Amino acid sequence: MKFTLLLCIFISACGLTTTRPKIEMSYAQAAFMAAKESGADVHASSLFRKAEDYYLKAKSAYRRKYFNKAKEFALLSKKFSEQAEYSAVRKKALEGNAE
């Protein structure tokens, strides 16, 4: 009986030691804003929408204290934001060379 009680306390304590993904959230926000400033919402709209969706999910999960999910969504948002920014910059450069 004591072993079961100790096991339950140990397992519940592990959930309390989850760290907040502050750095991942900051990187996701910076990448998302950079993508937005590069015109990714126009030139790479599908990637930008994915990035925005994951960013909003990360913020929501963070507010609800689901830090593991928030970290996962923040990393996905950063990934799609970077892809969207690269695609937008590339398309702008190609359009500039066509003129």
pLDDT in tens, 4-36: 766 656 665 555 568 999 999 999 999 999 999
The reply to whether 60 falls in a domain is: yes
Q: Which residue has the higher pLDDT, 30 or 98?
A: 30
pTM here is: 0.79
Residue of 74, 41, 40, 45 whose CA lies nearest to 57: 74
Q: Annotate 16-51 with DSSP letters as a single string.
A: HTPPP-HHHHHHHHHHHHHHHHTTHHHHSHHHHHHH
Q: How does DSSP classify residue 64? A: T
The reply to whether 32 falls in a domain is: yes
The reply to whether 63 falls in a domain is: yes
The reply to whether 3 falls in a domain is: no
Cβ atoms of 87 and 40 within 8 Å: the answer is yes
The reply to whether 10 falls in a domain is: no
The reply to whether 2 falls in a domain is: no
Q: Structurally, how many domains does the chain consist of?
A: 1
Longest CA pairwise span in the chain (Å): 78
In the three-class reduction of DSSP (H, G, I as helix; E, B as strand; rest coil), residue 99 is classed as: coil
For the chain, give percent helix, strand, coil, nearest 5. 85, 0, 15
Does 59 score more than 80 pLDDT? yes
